[in-house]
Amino acid sequence: MRLGAHVSVAGGKYKAIERGAKIKCEALQIFIRNVRAWTSKPLEEQDIKDFLEFKTKHKEIWPILSHNSYLINLAGTDEEKLNKSFNAMLDELTKAEQLKLDYINMHPGNKNEDEKEEDALLRIASQLNKLFDETNNSKVKIVLETTAGQGNDVGYSFEHMAKIIENIENKNRIGITFDTCHSFAAGYDFTTQDKYDQLWNNFEEIVGLEYLYAFHLNDAANELGSRVDRHEHIGQGEIGLKVFSFFVNDEKFSEHPGILETPDGIEKYEENLRKLKNLRK
């Protein structure tokens, strides 16, 4: 697994690559637009140029993915907010293409209190199909992040992901990010080698391993099945250090990015990365 972290772009997008290289990241995740606002100004030509230069300079860091805005909810029923979400996601795709990124990590969304989960999942697929139609010359994939199932969030089960993918027309543009904290909180137990192996047997059967493109490697502050999305430092949570060795040493995922989103950002990433790298056999 290619180990990395979600790194700040403060001072310019290229700065994230610089920061990632400093802490010996092998892969990277960044924000490419204001994640707490609906609108975002276009990327400046110099920012694009600098980023692509640093990307070429640090070829040891790949893949690079972005994380979408927290406001975006393609499962929503409010027409105005759904349109805003669509346009913001279209902007994400445009910027990702300009920066030659591989993937955009996306939270699937959250449903209305009184609606069926399936309706929300079909709405997500419909919006994604429209986005892929509007960007049909792009190769950027959207990878849907597994969720903890907190509140009305969808995407906490493999069946949810399978339902969305089943309804996507261009399946070359869609995939999954497996978040260890979220899926543990959603009730997926992978804390022994046997349970870990069974997890991927189930994933293969329900979704298909060909759709798994990335990992978020986070320990969990709360117990198995808590439905609480709260990350913890590697080895300091309920998942435990030894369990991460299953992930980092799995030959199936040797070229998949494993991205840290642990608390305290860059200050602790180096320590968390070292823990993960020390698990390699």
Q: Which two tokens stand for residue 182?
A: 């979220």
Let me know: does 35 contact 70? Beta carbons within 8 Å. Answer: yes
160 is catalytic: no
231 is catalytic: yes
6 is catalytic: no
d(CA 221, CA 232): 5
182 is catalytic: yes
Question: Which of these is catalytic: 44, 60, 70, 118?
Answer: 70
Question: Which of these is catalytic: 102, 145, 153, 219?
Answer: 145
115 is catalytic: no
Question: Which of these is catalytic: 6, 160, 216, 233?
Answer: 216
Question: Which of these is catalytic: 2, 182, 233, 256?
Answer: 182
70 is catalytic: yes
Question: Which of these is catalytic: 231, 233, 256, 269?
Answer: 231
Element (H, E) at 139: none
Cis peptide preceding 257, ω within 30 of 0: no
Question: Which of these is catalytic: 102, 173, 229, 256?
Answer: 229
Question: Which of these is catalytic: 19, 33, 107, 233?
Answer: 107
179 is catalytic: yes
d(CA 221, CA 233): 9
Question: Which of these is catalytic: 6, 173, 261, 269?
Answer: 261
Residue-wise DSSP of 32-66: -S-TTSS--PPPPHHHHHHHHHHHHHTTTS--EEE
What's the alpha-carbon Rg for the chain, to the nearest Å? 18
Question: Which of these is catalytic: 67, 123, 160, 233?
Answer: 67
Residues designated catalytic: 36, 67, 70, 107, 145, 179, 182, 216, 229, 231, 261
